[in-house]
Chain A
Amino acid sequence: MTIPVAMTVNGKPVSGKVEARTLLVQFLREHLGMTGTHVGCDTSQCGACVVHVDGKSVKSCTILAVQAEGAKVTTIEGLAESAEKLHPMQEAFRENHALQCGFCTPGMVMSAIDMVKRHNYQLDEATVRRELEGNLCRCTGYHNIVKAILAAAPAMKSAGV
């Protein structure tokens, strides 16, 4: 049985027909071809699939596409203004070498942006480390990810994003 679904993804209206069991991440990757959002563990642990649904970080492998009906979804593809001008969080990840293989990076960046906003752009290292509990990275040992998030918080504030 297919169900029509419509939502806004990165500012653009999108629609499609999905099965009830289609996950939001499957809709993004397989129906819309937006493969920036990754599936790591598929068991709600690793956070590689984090996107924003109505401004809040959500594991897109643990929400049905039909549950996002009418929602505003932001993915990693929707952050940069252009190929030249990255989002401050993406820029900070690049500057601080906060990735190695890059598989966890989309989810890290999306969780990090939500974290900075929830803490009103003011974070310390202990808070960043605790708040990253839902995102796993198997390469970096987290040090540079933490540095990048701490660097991005004031950059996001001054950029007004």
Chain B
Amino acid sequence: MYDFHYHRPKTLADAVNLLKGKDEARPMSGGMTLIPTLKQRLAKPSDVVDLGGIKDLAGIKVEGNNVVIGGMTRHADVASSADVKSAIPALAHLAGHIGDPAVRNRGTIGGSVANNDPAADYPAAVLALGATITTNTGKHAADSFFKGLFETALSDGELITSISFPKAEKAAYMKFPNPASRYAMVGVFVAKTAAGVRVAVTGAGPSVFRVKAMEDALAKNFSSAAIKDIKIPADGLNSDIHASAEYRAHLVNVMARRAVDAATK
């Protein structure tokens, strides 16, 4: 790891100022992606701004029809939250299957969503539930937030303060984890909310995406039989030593059907 200047601001405003003043400054929330990246010398930030000292960024609240989760909330806290389990059990289930217990004790929802790893779990929930991402400068709808491989709508120095998830009538997340890393080879989040049915896929492509054909079929008939014959083209999907694009395309249908079955139990 290359050395860097370390900062641990106590307020969001201080964090933003520290990031603004430097060319190569990086924010760090849980560090579960950033630290391994630095160890491999895949990034060389001049400054690391640790958000861990900003107390009011973590926490879970239910506000009307929404569950609002602070950006620095750890995966373990979302997984074990009585509020999340009762309002959106699929979201608690997803959080409880990220990485492993020690990783869940450090990793945060804001860090995961801001990083937008193609195989991260949270982006699937954010997109399928139609969540709203609040930052220090404004709000983003899920549909316009995830831009591509590790790319989001966030500007430099823009930090996620909370994410608001609407409650779902039915929802489930099913993933086929890589057995070593626990990242999703393919993960599918299916949700039926007041806004309609959404199917979001992570792990398969360069960034999380929706499957319109499945959404339309499920809107008419919310059952796994309704999407059984909907095939996903392998073109443009990820292909690596773990799985070919064709295999991932096949898994999307399998995981989507399992998610619909789990959501209708």
Contacts and interface: CB of A to CB of B under 8 A. Distances in A.
B68 to A, nearest CB: 23
B242 interface: no
A44 B105 CA distance: 13
B7 to A, nearest CB: 9
Nearest to A3: B6
Contacts of A58: 102, 105-106
B105 A56 contact: yes
Contacts of B8: 66, 69
Contact of B3 (A19, A23, A118): A19
Interface string B240-265: 00000000000000000000000000
A131 interface: yes
A62 B35 contact: yes
A158 interface: no
Nearest to B52: A67
Given A50-B102, A134-B99, A20 B35 contact: no
A133 interface: yes
Size category of the binding interface on chain A? 20 to 34
Interface residues of B, number: 27
B4 interface: yes
A157 B11 CA distance: 40
Contacts, number: 75
A6 interface: no
B5 A20 contact: yes
A135 B100 CA distance: 9
B123 to A, nearest CB: 20
B106 A63 contact: yes
B140 interface: no
Interface of A: 1, 3, 19-21, 23, 42-45, 47, 50, 56-59, 62-64, 66-67, 69, 111, 114-115, 118, 131, 133-135
Given A21-B3, A43-B36, A59-B103, 9 more contacts: A21-B1, A44-B32, A44-B103, A57-B101, A58-B105, A59-B106, A62-B106, A64-B35, A66-B6
18 contacts: A1-B3, A20-B4, A20-B6, A42-B39, A44-B35, A44-B103, A57-B105, A58-B106, A59-B103, A59-B106, A63-B31, A66-B8, A66-B50, A118-B101, A133-B100, A133-B182, A134-B100, A135-B100
